[in-house]
Amino acid sequence: MRGAQGDLLRLVATGQAESRAELSRLSGLAPSSVSLRVEELLDAALLVEEGAGTSRGGRRPRRLRVSPTAGLLAVADLGAHHARLALLDLSGVPLVVEERPCDIALGPEATLDWMAAAFDDLLRSHAPPGVPLRGVGTSVPGPVDPATGRVVSPSRMPGWNAFPVADHLGAHYDLPVLVENDANLMAVGEARAWPGCDNLMVLKAGSGIGCGLIVEGRLHRGRGAAGDISHVRVRADSSAMCSCGHPDCLEAYASGAALMGALADQGFAVHRPADVAALVADAVPEATALVRNAGRLIGEVLTVLVNFINPDAIVVGGSLSGAEPLISAVRAAVYERCLPLATRDLEIAVTRTGPDAALLGAGSLLLDAVLA
Ligand SMILES: [Zn+2]
């Protein structure tokens, strides 16, 4: 599956093409050349041809699909206390999604070995016979150096700094391995639900705060830490120390971890960020006030970025995204403070993809790695 064949398969897998004519138009290859390669992909059982495609008059074309037996991708979205795990087909359609408790504070080796065992377990239970695993990927809740697959100076991930996550996971599988920051994967997964929006900021509001950036339709990684807004200074009174060792970072006031700490100090039993959203849904005033303040602080940081990048949409995901006052406060800050031209058609909304966004993003980037 390399070169032109991989390119054609990717166009079908991502839903951009379903006929030889569309493949020829999008790839720039001659129709005869496309037909030859499609026949090879059909013979190799990587593509199948079925039913009738979208007709524009004349004979109804048959529709090309990636074969459900072409392969599987095993992907994980790793959080501080839970991981979502999935098996996807090469088109990114989940065969199974499960959430299992885990603890990244046990360190990288224990966590990644646990993950590999969980993947093996899912494959045993859910993989159709004879369908090969083609790639493995995971998010991590910290900055990742894209050149090495190592985590670099993450907050709240003791023992993970500089750990070669991709190499360690790769030792379990002789396959392409993807390791990427969680907000980046969420952005890639979310982007497919926003057709026509080429520039997206996808905020992950969970235990931490992250932001993934889609520019001109592609993930913008920068040097690996692009979009990391958690350590922007938002106050000047040194009233809260951040996990990074500096005072007054956004994360120290507005992250799920900070909100849980503040609510626990007031006697509330909160164990995960979703508990904060649940208190807000129950109209608990202390929780609502804290979340509204968090949204305002996040919104004020985003005003700078909105003026600078001019995105088409800001999408809020993560386990705090269900708290409506968070979104309203972000909207209020951005609409009030940004330039009119930047906000005129700007949409600020909750995730359309839901909790599986990072898993779908992992599948999308992993397919690129498998076909590279
Ligand atoms: Zn910090």
pLDDT tens digit sequence for 242-289: 988 999 999 999 999 999 999 999 999 999 999 999 999 999 999 999
**Residue 362: which residues within 8 A CB-CB, separation 6 or more?**
73, 75, 76, 77, 137, 138, 139, 178, 180, 185, 188, 189
Same domain, 165 and 206: no
Same domain, 336 and 230: yes
| Cα(163) to centroid(ligand 1), Å | 21
Same domain, 121 and 28: no
| Cα(141) to centroid(ligand 1), Å | 14
Q: Which of 16, 43, 66 is the last residue of a domain?
A: 66
Q: Tell me, what's the pLDDT at 146? A: 87
| Cα(265) to centroid(ligand 1), Å | 21
Same domain, 152 and 270: no
Q: Tell me, what's the pLDDT at 198? A: 95
* Residues 306 and 343: beta-carbon distance below 8 Å: yes
| Cα(101) to centroid(ligand 1), Å | 26
Same domain, 234 and 345: yes
Same domain, 237 and 147: no
Residue 129's domain is classified under what CATH number?
3.30.420.40
Give the model confidence (pLDDT) of 320-366 as tens digits: 999 999 999 999 999 999 999 999 999 999 999 999 999 999 999 99
Same domain, 270 and 361: no
Chain Cα centroid distance, residue 222: 16
| Cα(16) to centroid(ligand 1), Å | 41
CA distance 180 to 185: 7
Same domain, 335 and 208: yes
| Cα(297) to centroid(ligand 1), Å | 14
Which residues span the domain enclosing 52? 3-66
| Cα(314) to centroid(ligand 1), Å | 23
Same domain, 25 and 116: no
Same domain, 90 and 59: no
Tokens 């059982």, located at residue = 45
Same domain, 348 and 204: yes
| Cα(248) to centroid(ligand 1), Å | 7
Q: For residue 78, list its beta bridge partners.
A: 83
Same domain, 54 and 119: no
CA distance 343 to 299: 13
> pTM here?
0.92
Residue 6: its H or E element: helix 3-13
